[in-house]
Structure 1
Amino acid sequence: MAKQGLEVKFKFYDELLTQCVSQRALREGQWVHAHMIKTHYEPPVYLRTRLIVLYVKCECLSDARYVFDEMPERNVVSWTAMISGYARMGHSSEALNLFVQMIRSGAEPNEFTFATVLTCCTGAFGFCLGWQIHSLLVKHPFESHVFVGSSLLDMYAKAGRIQEARDIFEALPEKDVVSCTAIISGYAQQGLDEKALELFRRLRMEGMNFNYVTYVGILTALSGLAALEHGRQVHSHVLRLKLPFYVVLQNSLIDMYSKCGNLAYSRRIFDNMSERTIISWNAMLVGYSRHGLGKEVVELFELLKAEITTRPNSVTLLAVLSGCSHGGMEHRGLKIFDEMLNEEDGVELGIEHYACVVDLLGRSGQVERALQFINQMPFKPNAAIWGSLLGACRFHQNTNVGKIAGNSLLDIEPENAGNYVVLANLYASAGKWEELRRVRELMKEKAVVKVPGKSWIEVEQTLHTFHASDNSHPRKEEIFQKVRELSARIKGAGYVPDMGCVLHDVDEEQKEKMLLGHSEKLALAFGLIAEPQGKPIRVIKNLRICVDCHNFAKFVSQVYKREVSLRDKARFHRIVGGKCSCGDYW
């Protein structure tokens, strides 16, 4: 009879807890738990585990841990439920510590335990533990399980070990949307955008179905490539599949179209959103900022300030200040900065906001005032601030302040090749060859290697990549001939090569030949050959576009009546009729 009574109680509590778990009914679940205690009922492992699951689902980790600690015996589901609770709430160290206790207790983890604990292995310390867990996995039959494999490759991808992640992915006997999304997102996060696109296309041809998270990952990659046609295709896939338009997906579309130079599409998506987060506003503000549309930045910022539910954050202010700087609105930018500085409950200003003020002053030619502002800042100037000032000195030909900025920059980042290049550009444009030689000797002494510049252009959904004086393209002869033709024709319209962009003390003829081999010019020439008349030419570069290539593109746009879009690592240059959106200073 006693046994039968226990079975009735078990069934009674089981049914109640099942309902509570499915409906996340915390209060009712607590009543059930209290009833167990009052009636001195000793629930078996299964019911205690159900209580843990209920408390975890209702985000009451302290209650879940109380039940867990009171358990006279535990099984793998109990351990996994508690570890999962910590993992879901972002308490990675607690989850990892509990996993270690589980191993020491002699309990055997299952595939769900491993998949859960691997999600906590982020950061340098976390990856070290994750690597040890991977070693442990070799002794279990779960390494090739799709759940475990997905978590494992995601861990390696987030640690920047993308090749190990790819090896795990390819070794999986079956691949699901989670594992595919993890590896595609991993490539995108590491800036390996072409790899992400290549894999996405392969998996799609193999019949893999993707979810909205996958599309967020591939849109990130397409943003990096500025591959507009591919981006439009992905947008069409999302619409055809009738995927739910979650805010994160809409934000990714805004970012993708913006980085591909199509702000009209970005704004259309933004305006049609039923719900916006601060990330949505920031994505649109950053888009306008990078295109140098300061007026639009300020107007959108005013709309945001009128919102009741959304407040600007530090990223918002950064985008607004940057937009004012790139849009030639230094007075408005300085006014906004002062307002935020004096606002009691406003955005907390960081060094990056002060860097924007230096940029605002520098772009307007006030380099001495910018230097004075740096010396009065409440922060110690960093590389970004000195780099901004050095760039301004390069543009405004102020070698005295430029030397101070350059030397400060080299003290902070002696291994950054870009700093040496900008300083060398400053000396070269001023004809100070002795100082230029000193910079070169410093580079050799520090064994600094300049990142090779490359440009690419998308034609008929194929990316064509060019390096300086590139001889690898199958149509190289035609491309070089086109560059020479462009140069000859635009000279008649007033184009004069900027020899200051050549960091070598050679004769003028050799300098001009070197300038014609720049990757931006090769990509632009190929675009004119391959793209039909009337279609904009869109060129992307991994580094900053040089002054000469910018002028070259402006004259090509004017003479050939073509719209040219140049995107470098910092911003966009939309050139129509020989006039650039950047106002000739970036």
Structure 2
Amino acid sequence: MLKTRILMRALSSLSRQNSNSQCLLPNGQLEDALVKMSTVGLELDFRSYDSVLDACMNGRAYREGQRVHSHMTKTRYPMQVYLNTRLVIFYVKCDALDDARQLFEEMPGRSIVSWTAMVSGYSKKGLHSEALGLFVRMMVTDLLPNQHTLASILTSCAGLYGLQHGMQVHSLSIKLNFESHIFVGSSLLDMYAKAGEIHEARKIFEDLSERDVVSCTAIISGYAQLGLDNEALELFRELYKEGMTCNYVTFTSLLTALSGLAAVDYGKQVHCITIRSRLPFYIVLQNSLIDMYSKCGNLIYSRRIFDKMCERSVISWNAMLAGYAKHGLGNEVIKLFNSMREVLKPDCSTYMAVLSGCSHGGLVDEGLRIFDLMTKDEEVHPEIGHYGCVVDLLGRAGRINEAFDFIKDMPFEPTIAIWGSLLGACRVHVNVSAGEFVAQRLLHLEPENAGNYVILSNIYASAGKWEDVMRVRALMKENTIIKEPAISCIKLGKINHTFHTNDRSHPQRKEVEAKVREIYVNIKEAGYVPDLSCILHDVDDEQKERMLLGHSEKLAIAFGLMWSSHHGNIQVIKNLRICVDCHNFAKFVSVVYGRELSLRDRSRFHVIVKGSCSCGDYW
């Protein structure tokens, strides 16, 4: 008995020492305890087993925990539900779900904690079917789920029938009076947000009796993941003023929204807050900062964070590669990709970013070489998205026939996105016959997409086929297809100013129009020649020039010159692809007015300095 008491005290001490450890105990202390345990034999009691299991659990000491389990079995220790449950929890924490499930099935009696441990283990590993199956089995018994069970099973309410299953769990939580519990409420709003039901998620959030960092982060993340970036930002500001506690996940979710808004000023503030708060710079937060800065057009900051990282994951490299690709810096993409291969294995997302960078940078041969490299990689296999990148690569380079041949040889059926990129290439290179063929495919696949009609109309207009232009426009009218209006935004101070093509709604429209005409005169003296091919109407040249001056990005640039600092960067965001004439317009403005311009359109960034664009005039 004295040996047992000594061992029990030692194990209790080990459990306390190791409560925050993620590895084996130092100096072999756990090993010594296990040796002593084997010498005690049958004299070991419940508290000793509980203590040594606690030490193994805290240290994720899988082999040592197996030895404790084996000792219990050999000594035929009468296993209560509690110790069996502790063993199940131990195996779950060690990611040994098969061992946990085997023990669980052999248990003569199970508590709600046992069921919850297994459900939670499967949910955390993404094994949603297994988790739901166990939950249904549990409901057949006399046991009722507690708040932890409900919170765990809601994590598995995902996929095709996720919302349906989640609503059933929601009804059960109401019946059991757990709906407003912080754990259950947070899981419910997260489930609804991921299912796209953000209004239901917000209602649950508002009804919570108390809110913690998890629930606040879940609702902000929900808005951000659905692209409701302004709503995510406004909610964060509201909650932050109320004293919300933030962690690195909160800021990561917020940075996702700021990336969508290209709100670099807010992004810098978040960056500063994380530094002042002395938050641990987890890789996921650094990755989000890299992504935010690159999507806001500041690759220098992105690279600075990337270079200072103590540890980089594949996602870190991919975020930096995607940033360079979005800016059309194909050579930088290749250089970084080669550096990555020296230290880390590329994944599917890596190849997607690299192929996209080659496509946007006009590096056709490099892109084809890298795709060939990927096809020979035994661990990474090309997916439909990679084939789409190669089609885009060939199409942008004007190699339309090669793109068609590549599509014929693909092991996949071409998607709408692949046909769409090829149609865009036909527009740029004015390939009427190929454009008609691709457009017919797209009009059959998605007859309500206005973009396909518009691009086909543009192809005909570029070729001077005005009767065909009228036919396409008549077809759009007949099918009530409405073209998406061009919109450009510029932020001055804390106010976003929005301009539409030929805008008549802005309160300073007369001053802006006058400024555009002034700029037009000045840059024409410097050699600017309007590209009239960008006007797709059968009118005379003088009218085409007037129509060009009404493009939304020109209005936004003029407004920026009127009211921004004389030396600051002018940043414009457009919802559609920038036209060739507006691109040339911006280049001449950068020379004549000595300003740097950042134009972000639907496809990429254009950073224009002294008449030169980062895209190399290839986009």
> Is TM-score (shorter-chain normalized) higher than 0.5?
yes
Query: What residue is the counterpart of 1:200 in the other structure?
Result: 236
Contact 2:248 2:285 in 1 (8 A): yes
Query: What residue is the counterpart of 2:362 in the other structure?
Result: 328
Greater CA drift, 377-386 or 176-185:
377-386
Query: What residue is the counterpart of 2:423 in the other structure?
Result: 390
Contact 1:429 1:499 in 2 (8 A): no
Greater CA drift, 99-108 or 122-131:
99-108
- CA displacement 1:100-146 (0-9 Å, x = unmatched): 22222131211111111111111121221001111222212211111
Query: What residue is the counterpart of 1:139 in the other structure?
Result: 175
Alpha-carbon shift at residue 450 of structure 1 (Å): 3.1
State the TM-score, normalizing by the size of structure 1: 0.92
Equivalence map 1:394-433=2 (5 Å)? 394-433=427-466
Alignment size in residue pairs = 578
Task: Quote the Cα distance in structure 2 between the aligned partners of 1:251 and 1:395.
Answer: 35
Contact 2:556 2:572 in 1 (8 A): yes
Equivalence map 1:143-542=2 (5 Å)? 143-307=179-343, 310-341=344-375, 343=376, 345=378, 347-505=380-538, 511-542=544-575
- CA displacement 1:221-280 (0-9 Å, x = unmatched): 111111111111111111111111111111111111111111111111111111112211
- CA displacement 1:146-183 (0-9 Å, x = unmatched): 11111111111111111211121122222111111111
Alpha-carbon shift at residue 499 of structure 1 (Å): 4.5
- CA displacement 1:448-483 (0-9 Å, x = unmatched): 333343322232244333333445545444334333
Q: 1:252 to 1:394 in 2, by over 3 A?
A: same
Is structure 2 residue 97 aligned with structure 1 residue 64? Answer: no
Task: Quote the Cα distance in structure 2 between the aligned partners of 1:501 and 1:424.
Answer: 12
Q: 1:170 to 1:475 in 2, by over 3 A?
A: farther
Pick from 572, 581, 586: which aligns with 2:614?
581
Alpha-carbon shift at residue 71 of structure 1 (Å): 3.2
Task: Quote the Cα distance in structure 1 between the aligned partners of 2:69 and 2:388.
Answer: 57
Task: Quote the Cα distance in structure 2 between the aligned partners of 1:462 and 1:174.
Answer: 34
Greater CA drift, 123-132 or 522-531:
522-531
- CA displacement 1:54-99 (0-9 Å, x = unmatched): 1111122223223322333333222212211111222111111111
Provide the identity percentage.
Answer: 62
Task: Quote the Cα distance in structure 1 between the aligned partners of 2:608 and 2:84.
Answer: 68
Alpha-carbon shift at residue 568 of structure 1 (Å): 1.2
Task: Quote the Cα distance in structure 2 between the aligned partners of 1:434 and 1:204.
Answer: 58
Contact 2:162 2:195 in 1 (8 A): no
State the TM-score, normalizing by the size of structure 2: 0.87
Greater CA drift, 247-256 or 408-417:
408-417
Q: 1:504 to 1:136 in 2, by over 3 A?
A: farther
Task: Quote the Cα distance in structure 1 between the aligned partners of 2:374 and 2:601.
Answer: 30
Task: Quote the Cα distance in structure 1 between the aligned partners of 2:198 and 2:499.
Answer: 25
Alpha-carbon shift at residue 320 of structure 1 (Å): 2.1
Indicate the SS of the match to 2:583: helix
Task: Quote the Cα distance in structure 2 between the aligned partners of 1:46 and 1:373.
Answer: 62
Indicate the SS of the match to 2:45: helix
Contact 1:20 1:28 in 2 (8 A): yes
Alpha-carbon shift at residue 213 of structure 1 (Å): 0.8
Indicate the SS of the match to 1:124: coil
Query: What residue is the counterpart of 1:549 in the other structure?
Result: 582
Task: Quote the Cα distance in structure 1 between the aligned partners of 2:266 and 2:535.
Answer: 35
Query: What residue is the counterpart of 2:32 in the other structure?
Result: none
AA aligned to 2:361 is: G
Task: Quote the Cα distance in structure 1 between the aligned partners of 2:59 and 2:484.
Answer: 56
Query: What residue is the counterpart of 1:3 in the other structure?
Result: none
Q: 1:111 to 1:296 in 2, by over 3 A?
A: same
Indicate the SS of the match to 2:184: helix
Task: Quote the Cα distance in structure 1 between the aligned partners of 2:369 and 2:112.
Answer: 61
AA aligned to 2:330 is: G
Query: What residue is the counterpart of 1:90 in the other structure?
Result: 126
Structure 1 unaligned segments of length 5 or more: list them.
1-5
Greater CA drift, 443-452 or 401-410:
443-452
Contact 1:55 1:61 in 2 (8 A): yes
Alpha-carbon shift at residue 353 of structure 1 (Å): 2.8
Task: Quote the Cα distance in structure 2 between the aligned partners of 1:350 and 1:529.
Answer: 48
Indicate the SS of the match to 2:149: helix
Structure 2 unaligned segments of length 5 or more: list them.
1-41
Contact 2:530 2:545 in 1 (8 A): yes
Contact 1:574 1:581 in 2 (8 A): yes
Contact 1:544 1:568 in 2 (8 A): yes
Task: Quote the Cα distance in structure 2 between the aligned partners of 1:478 and 1:521.
Answer: 13
Query: What residue is the counterpart of 2:29 in the other structure?
Result: none
